[in-house]
Amino acid sequence: MGEIMAPSIQPMFNESSPTSNGCRGLLYALVVLLCTVPIGAEVELTARVPVETIQLENGMRFLLVARPEMTTVAAGWVVEVGSADEEPGQTGLSHLLEHLMFKGTRNVGTRDIERERILLDREDRLQSNLRALRAEQLEVGAKKRTQLDRRVGHIEGQLNQVQAEARSISLLGQFSLLYSRLGAVGLNAHTLRDLTFYYVTVPAEKLEAWFWLESDRLLEPVFREFYKELDVLHEERRLRIDSNPTGSADEQLKAEFWDPHPYAWDPQGAPEDLERLTREAARGFFRQHYTPGRITAALVGDFDISQARELAVRYFGRIQARRSPPRREVPWLVDGGKEAERTLSLECDCPPQVQVLYPSAAFGEPDSRTLEVMAAVLNGRSGRLYRSMVLGDGIAFSASTLQSPLRQAGYFSFRAETKGDSTPETLLVAWDREVARLQSEPVTAEELLRAKNRLAADSFRRLKDPSSLLAQLLVYQGMGDWSEINTWPRQVLEIDADEIQAAARRYLEPNRKTVGLYNQSASGSPPSTATAGRGSEEGTP
């Protein structure tokens, strides 16, 4: 491993010009370059992001990356809770909570919080009665049903009144509106299996408003429009899963692969579970998991670090320290667990394709990086899959692999779409051949050089866009440790061909794979949304 030539952080652009024939003078504002042992003929450099960290007394952390050349700040926070922390039967709760976090607070989104609270409680009671009656309706005969219909109608009438009054007090969309009025852009959030993160980009001089709005919604959020939001979630599910060509088939395959781990369900939740969720359950989930010790904020952009520190204390310091229960850990044994190969025949309204999943290394584990390098050897224009399947045999429209590390476990996947007369089975045979090759001989020095040089260059590219740098810091932190962003590039460059071969032998064992063979549904119903498939390098020009 090479030595560190420029360990200090350069706050400003340094006038000395970078040169390509050595490591001296390589000083950049955002990164400290680490020169490593030259591989092949190339000098290898990797990125290191200078991050200032702060921890408040209540346990909340901040990751600060100053980029004075910008005029905005990409800002966000992550909470270490996701769909894998949900109880069976309550799936979709963390995603619902993420949506509800945009509904305002006691200060934002209402003209009379006390009256509104009374109305929301009344609404909950009526909805609970209504759900019980509707469940009963399904069980009883026609005569009894008419009686129940009348009671349902009565409650619905009351509910309409309560909702109408609640609406006349609440101010819809107030939270988002305040951000827009401040000139902020890109307000959004995502819920993953391990974490949930929220972000926005604000004009640099208005950064304090971000501290105001985000600390306010962590202090006392109010989950308005709860039942309307459940409808929105159903539409989101219809969009992302039901009317996505591979959506339902992917969901089935993942469920089979992960079972019985909580990773088995999608963060979108099961439709029947959504119907059971309550506002009280969302409040409980918030209290239990959105504690300062489980939250990390990050800022990337034009701001003063000491000022940010002061604002962090002033605003987020108001949040009381609370204890969270330890995160649920469900064992997922890479070398134990299921031993037999499983094959699922899946119907979809999509191009015929194959997906193969293998249990693999979790986030931060050295093997995860090895598998990423292996994927780089396989993917891309100079990679094995494109050469053999897309160009050579011409059997694939697209073909790619991906190592996906999650917090508790990971998976390695192969995915390819058919072309012409080929079938998912043909693609599977071709993939097995590639696996056998990886297991029986080391990748060549040239292949390894190309893969690593691409990964090294990518380690800089992914820092270019401030909001994507922010997202990486938040996601990495949510999975365990933000500093992976700096560990990863160096470790990746140390990986050698023997390690890749060993990883192929360990993880790509045939009896550990779960195979999904996707074929068009027999009904011949054609359509659905967006063509699936990552890594298609020759789609429509």
The residue (of 17 and 306) whose beta carbon lies closer to another protein is 17
Q: Based on the shown chain and the rule CB under 8 A, indicate whether residue 437 belongs to the binding site for another protein.
A: no
Evaluate whether 455 touches 492 at the Cβ level (below 8 Å). Answer: yes
DSSP 480: T
What is the distance between the terminal CA atoms of the chain, rounded to a whole angstrom? 42
Q: Based on the shown chain and the rule CB under 8 A, indicate whether residue 4 belongs to the binding site for another protein.
A: no
Q: What's the min distance (Å) between Cβ of 68 and another protein?
A: 10
Q: What's the min distance (Å) between Cβ of 445 and another protein?
A: 11
Question: Dmax of the chain from CA atoms?
Answer: 88
State how far the Cα of 79 lies from the Cα of 197, in Å rounded to an integer: 6
Q: Based on the shown chain and the rule CB under 8 A, indicate whether residue 171 belongs to the binding site for another protein.
A: yes
Evaluate whether 76 touches 297 at the Cβ level (below 8 Å). Answer: yes
DSSP 141: -
Q: Based on the shown chain and the rule CB under 8 A, indicate whether residue 540 belongs to the binding site for another protein.
A: yes
Figure out which of the listed residues 65, 84, 120, 187 binds another protein, where binding follows CB under 8 A.
187
Contact stretch for another protein (CB under 8 A) within 55-63, 126-134, 173-181, 364-372: 173-181
List binders of another protein among 406-425 (CB under 8 A). Answer: 419-420
Q: Based on the shown chain and the rule CB under 8 A, indicate whether residue 347 belongs to the binding site for another protein.
A: no
Which residues, including other chains, have CB under 8 Å from residue 430's CB and lie 6 or more apart? 388, 389, 393, 395, 396, 416
Q: What's the min distance (Å) between Cβ of 455 and another protein?
A: 8
Which residues, including other chains, have CB under 8 Å from residue 290's CB and lie 6 or more apart? 79, 81, 218
List binders of another protein among 18-37 (CB under 8 A). Answer: 18, 20, 26, 28-31, 33
Figure out which of the listed residues 62, 77, 197, 212 binds another protein, where binding follows CB under 8 A.
212
List binders of another protein among 188-207 (CB under 8 A). Answer: 188, 201, 203-206
List binders of another protein among 213-232 (CB under 8 A). Answer: 213, 225, 227-232
Evaluate whether 97 touches 233 at the Cβ level (below 8 Å). Answer: no
Q: Which amino acid is at 184?
A: A
State how far the Cα of 220 lies from the Cα of 499, in Å rounded to an integer: 50
Figure out which of the listed residues 176, 252, 423, 468 binds another protein, where binding follows CB under 8 A.
176
The residue (of 261 and 450) whose beta carbon lies closer to another protein is 450
- In 3-state terms, what secondary structure has residue 390? helix
Bridging pattern class, strands 42-46 and 34-39: antiparallel
- Return the residue matching tokens 């890594």: 535
The CA R_g of the chain, rounded to the nearest whole Å, is 26
List binders of another protein among 62-121 (CB under 8 A). Answer: 67, 69-72, 102, 107-109, 111
Token duo for residue 423: 């079938």
**The 3-state secondary structure of 401-433, one letter per residue:** EEEEECCCCEEEEEEEEECCCCCHHHHHHHHHH
Q: How many residues bind another protein (CB under 8 A)?
A: 112
The residue (of 320 and 540) whose beta carbon lies closer to another protein is 540
Contact stretch for another protein (CB under 8 A) within 241-249, 283-291, 362-370, 429-437: 241-249
Q: What's the min distance (Å) between Cβ of 461 and another protein?
A: 7
List binders of another protein among 350-409 (CB under 8 A). Answer: 350-351, 380-382, 387, 390-391, 394, 397
Q: Based on the shown chain and the rule CB under 8 A, indicate whether residue 43 belongs to the binding site for another protein.
A: yes
Contact stretch for another protein (CB under 8 A) within 344-352, 365-373, 483-491, 507-515: 344-352
Figure out which of the listed residues 117, 151, 167, 309 binds another protein, where binding follows CB under 8 A.
167
* String of contacts with another protein for each residue 303-342, x by CB under 8 A: -----------xx--x------------------------
Q: Based on the shown chain and the rule CB under 8 A, indicate whether residue 131 belongs to the binding site for another protein.
A: no
The DSSP result for 332-366, as a single string, is --SSSS--S-EEEEEEESS--EEEEEEEEPPTT-H
